[in-house]
Amino acid sequence: MPGWMRGRGGRPEVYCHRAMLDAIRYLVATGIKWRAMPGDFPPWDRIYAFLRR
């Protein structure tokens, strides 16, 4: 198996990247605060950590 297909190890991700990117786009488009994210997105602290990576 090629190295790029093996992954980096560690804890598996709980939320897909699409949901994270949609949440970030929503945040930028509406200008709301992190803690005011609607419930249909992942938790704000997970989105923030994803963005910081």
Look at residue 1 and tell me if it is in a domain. Answer: no
pLDDT in the model for residue 10: 74
pLDDT in the model for residue 25: 96
- Is residue 31 helix, strand or coil? coil
Scored b (16 or more CB within 10 A) or e, 23-53 reads beeebeeeeeeeeebeeebbebebbeebeee
Look at residue 2 and tell me if it is in a domain. Answer: no
Look at residue 4 and tell me if it is in a domain. Answer: no
Look at residue 29 and tell me if it is in a domain. Answer: yes
Q: Residue 48: which domain range? A: 12-52
How many domains is the chain partitioned into structurally? 1
pLDDT in the model for residue 32: 93
Low-confidence residues in the chain, pLDDT < 70: 1-8
Look at residue 43 and tell me if it is in a domain. Answer: yes
